[in-house]
Structure 1
Amino acid sequence: MTSDDEWAAVQPTHRLSYRPFCDSHEATWRGLARARLHDQELVDQAVRSIRRELRRNWVCVLSQPDIEAHAWMIAKRCIADRELSSGQAPPRAVVADWIVAIRRAQVQARISLENLDNGYEELYAAILRLPERQYDMIVLRYMLDIDYRMIAVYLGITESNARTTTSQGLAKLRRFLGADTATGDMQ
């Protein structure tokens, strides 16, 4: 049996167990899957696939410098695989989870939906056009309401980089939608 002193000397990542790790991150993976997939069954399949891959490679996962970032990449790959195998692309119409995200992003990006022909649909289409990292930021920050500190952990970047990349994504959304959609100062 390991004494408390010996256990304290073990790196924290080696004390991390599979089930609590997955349980604590599943809501975020599920949110990402909902952002990309059409229906609940596909979301459930993707999350089961993420958990299976993590379990199968848990020792390797624990050896990664940024476990959460490594798990995020596995989650994205499993969701993309599910998307491809189902023959579906992200929904082109606004889905319920995106309404809140779009409202939050629109305020931060200083975008007025009144000036857009199709309102939410046009902004949603612009979000889908963002580069992968900026898209991730919009999903994490505005759809899943995750703070910048946790985003940095998930993506293996600094908090400052998470803020900057989000700002760049919001600026790109403004450009995609045209300068005439900008409103007052950022809140």
Structure 2
Amino acid sequence: MTGQPPDDRGERALREPSEVMPPAFWAFHQLYHQAYFEYAHVQLGDKDAADRLVDATFVFLAVIWQRVTAQGNLEAFAWTLLKERVASELEVQGREAAALETLAFERAVRAACEPILDSFRQEFRAQVTELEDGLGLYQAMAQLPERQFDVMVLQFALGFTTKRTALVMGVCQATVRSTRRAAKRKLATDLELAIAEDVDDEE
């Protein structure tokens, strides 16, 4: 279903919002469009490509809106749809998701690394001297599992709160917090830092 291109019903819906689409669709669009664009831009490294991809994603959601809203977790469905489309676009380009050669990805990871480094400096003090250039953390970030990477980029690089990250990904806040803790534990393990089980920067 998600691999099929949207038909012109969605395009008509976006041209004639008041006559075709319910207010709930536009509320969803307003709430998540910018977040989807920022994430797609991180992955694709091209603002125009990210803009086109996100617009096409919302067109497709407009086409299937009634079916999707009847199924339950709209946020999780839409987030999965966006990520599938990003992955498909990268595959067409012969690249993998979060490709290291993508400049936007590099900027996002480096943006995330500094606040993570600050957190690690406070927790580990003498242990983090070898991380001062951020290279080890940068490489470890790039190897995180997909959900952990998403949480770290959304929160540390894009500055999303736990609540907004949960809304965008269609999961509960507890899942975001546990995923963030797991990501930080993995980063610490990869960087050979001794981290306590309950270490996290709770909001």
Verify the 8 A CA contact 2:53 2:85 in the aligned structure 1.
yes
Dislocated runs of 4+, deviation >6 Å? none
Q: What are the ranges of 5 or more consecutive residues in structure 1 without an aligned counterpart? A: 1-14
Q: What residue number does 1:40 align with?
A: 47
The CA deviation string for residues 114-171 of structure 1, in whole angstroms up to 9 with x for no partner, is 5148x34432321121111111111221122221122223333332221111011011
| Residues 49, 108 of structure 1: alpha-carbon distance in 2 compared, 3 angstrom cutoff | farther
Gaps of 5+ in 2: 1-21
Are the aligned partners of 1:107 and 1:186 in contact in 2 as well (CA < 8 Å)? Answer: no
For the aligned residue pairs, the C-alpha RMSD in angstroms reads 2.9
| CA apart distance, 1:29 | 0.6
Report the equivalent of 1:23: 30
Residues 109 and 173 in structure 1, CA contact (< 8 A), matched pair in contact too: no
Q: Is the 2:120–2:128 contact (alpha carbons within 8 Å) kept by the matching residues of 1?
A: no
The counterpart of 2:112, out of the listed 90, 101, 105, is: 101
Q: Report the TM-score, using the length of structure 1 for normalisation.
A: 0.76
Q: How many residues align?
A: 171
TM-score, L = length of structure 2: 0.70
Structure 1 residues 6-155: aligned runs within 5 Å: 16-89=23-96, 90-92=98-100, 95-110=106-121, 114-116=129-131, 119-155=133-169
Higher RCO (C-alpha 8 Å, min separation 6): 1
Sequence identity, in percent? 23
Hey, what does 1:162 align to over in structure 2? 176
Displacement, 1:103?
Answer: 1.2
